[in-house]
Structure 1
């Protein structure tokens, strides 16, 4: 017996959207799907564009959560920030999964459209740079690739004027009664973070007595969790690039894999990793 096709309207589903807000309207799907402008006739260019565009969307959400997390920590609402920090870690898990799709592109595939990329390169992503600045890796040299876009320079400069996620975490420790060194609390916010023995001593005190400093302890683990996923993202970036282009120079002029390997050495919250050896 042939079953009658299911009609959602019989159960109240809205089926007419003339002059009403639909799914596509709300999400601006037409604009989104019109953003994949291929510059070559290569099949795999679509994969390359979508992988990077979706990564930029996830990074936008990460910045949204980072902004809220820092605001919450600064207002001593650390528990609210924990959920946001956990979400950021999961966002980077999604970003990690994206490399698995891109790795289906072979070196032969990439050569069919690589010249069409011109000098564009992922290290020029202003959102990625904002994330690095927001969590504390503040390399002022990396503002220069955006000099042709004054509005992006303004965004990056505004970020440099604001305490990083790590700065806010340390200020929270100080307000909680922990002896964070004054030179750390009063430091130049634009400067790159360097490991500090006094900061490590404070974090060690938290880890030696988690029950006495539970919120600080949980905050520390949320930061480590985020950096763990962030490091995996960087590592997957390196291996994907090596798999696709070997040791060629990057399209943006960087040393390619060698440049990315140097980025693996960057520690966002060094004291939280170093204390594992000294405890």
Structure 2
């Protein structure tokens, strides 16, 4: 070995002052403050506070918080897409939906963080959750409202929290993402019934045969330049990702909890199975058996 006076941990280009050579990032004292402040990293890393001695509870908390951030990002994209559809801007709406697809893909893959959670590990901290459940996530509820799964009762758990309940109440009475798409089709001269273009938006969306017929007319012209056909397939991509997430949720619960009741008072596995089987944007799926 050739003897050298240089410390083994120091880069040959290290000046010993700023820690910076040609093209290297600056290592000047105090420069990390900007990064920590911009991302709120010091606060972020204090938000994982396990209530038990089970190590895997930390992974459960991290997964929950990651999903909440992604829910908020998808909500932002979907709301923009909805607004672009209301403004007859199909190209921009599809662009927002495709951006949301990337976040949805990460959401689906996030369940992998819990795939190693065993039933015994979950049992060691489940009591600490009390009545807490992902079912009560306001961000997730916003997404369900945008998908057309409206219910005034779903706002009730947030009584006493006006900063949460007020935006949800507003989302309840606004058109959802699919509603905006159907209104666009009607303005384009397609046979969407008036009762679907103007209705009580606080009620859940239900399928209609005439809506299926309108989408069938769109699919009859499957040229790439038909922007309504592009919209239809982009909405199907969105819907499929929702179903994937629901199914991964179902399987994660089946692995760690089995058929026990859910923490939010639901039937647990049975409720999740019903939810996973529910088609998102139903006529875009039913028409496939009739083309």
Which TM-score bucket, shorter chain as reference? over 0.9
| Correspondence for 2:128 among 86, 91, 116 | 116
Task: Tell me the CA shift for residue 268 of structure 1.
Answer: 2.2
Q: Larger deviation: 137-146 or 154-163?
A: 137-146
| Correspondence for 2:138 among 115, 126, 137 | 126
CA contact (8 A) 2:173 2:200 kept: no
- Mapping of 1:7-18 within 5 angstroms? 7=14, 9-11=20-22, 13-16=25-28, 18=30
RMSD: 1.9
Alignment of 1:172 with 2:172, yes or no, is: no
2:228 counterpart SS class:
helix
Distance (Å, rounded) in 2 between the aligned partners of 1:17 and 1:233:
44
| Correspondence for 2:63 among 51, 55, 64 | 51
Distance (Å, rounded) in 1 between the aligned partners of 2:275 and 2:199:
24
Q: Which structure has the greater CA radius of gyration?
A: 2
| Correspondence for 2:251 among 239, 249, 255 | 239
| Correspondence for 2:267 among 246, 251, 255 | 255
Compare the two structures and name the one with the higher helix fraction. 1
Task: Tell me the CA shift for residue 63 of structure 1.
Answer: 0.9
Distance (Å, rounded) in 1 between the aligned partners of 2:28 and 2:236:
49
Distance (Å, rounded) in 1 between the aligned partners of 2:160 and 2:178:
30
CA contact (8 A) 1:89 1:230 kept: no
Distance (Å, rounded) in 1 between the aligned partners of 2:164 and 2:124:
31
| Correspondence for 1:183 among 180, 192, 195 | 195
Distance (Å, rounded) in 2 between the aligned partners of 1:79 and 1:147:
39
Q: Report the equivalent of 1:219.
A: 231
Alignment of 1:72 with 2:84, yes or no, is: yes
Task: Tell me the CA shift for residue 17 of structure 1.
Answer: 6.0
Query: Unmatched 5+ residue regions in structure 1?
Result: none
Distance (Å, rounded) in 1 between the aligned partners of 2:141 and 2:281:
17
Given the superposition, is the C-alpha separation of residues 147 and 79 from structure 1 closer, same or farther in structure 2, using an over 3 Å criterion?
Answer: same
Alignment of 1:205 with 2:217, yes or no, is: yes
Task: Tell me the CA shift for residue 142 of structure 1.
Answer: 1.7
Given the superposition, is the C-alpha separation of residues 212 and 250 from structure 1 closer, same or farther in structure 2, using an over 3 Å criterion?
Answer: closer
CA contact (8 A) 1:66 1:165 kept: yes
CA contact (8 A) 1:73 1:169 kept: yes
| Correspondence for 2:149 among 125, 132, 137 | 137
Task: Tell me the CA shift for residue 214 of structure 1.
Answer: 1.0
1:112 counterpart SS class:
helix
Distance (Å, rounded) in 2 between the aligned partners of 1:177 and 1:82:
20
Distance (Å, rounded) in 1 between the aligned partners of 2:50 and 2:187:
52
CA contact (8 A) 2:101 2:238 kept: yes
Distance (Å, rounded) in 2 between the aligned partners of 1:47 and 1:20:
26
2:21 counterpart SS class:
helix
| Correspondence for 2:108 among 77, 93, 96 | 96
Query: Unmatched 5+ residue regions in structure 2?
Result: none
Given the superposition, is the C-alpha separation of residues 197 and 17 from structure 1 closer, same or farther in structure 2, using an over 3 Å criterion?
Answer: farther
Count, aligned residues: 279
CA contact (8 A) 2:142 2:171 kept: yes
Task: Tell me the CA shift for residue 159 of structure 1.
Answer: 0.4
Distance (Å, rounded) in 1 between the aligned partners of 2:251 and 2:171:
30
Task: Tell me the CA shift for residue 21 of structure 1.
Answer: 6.0
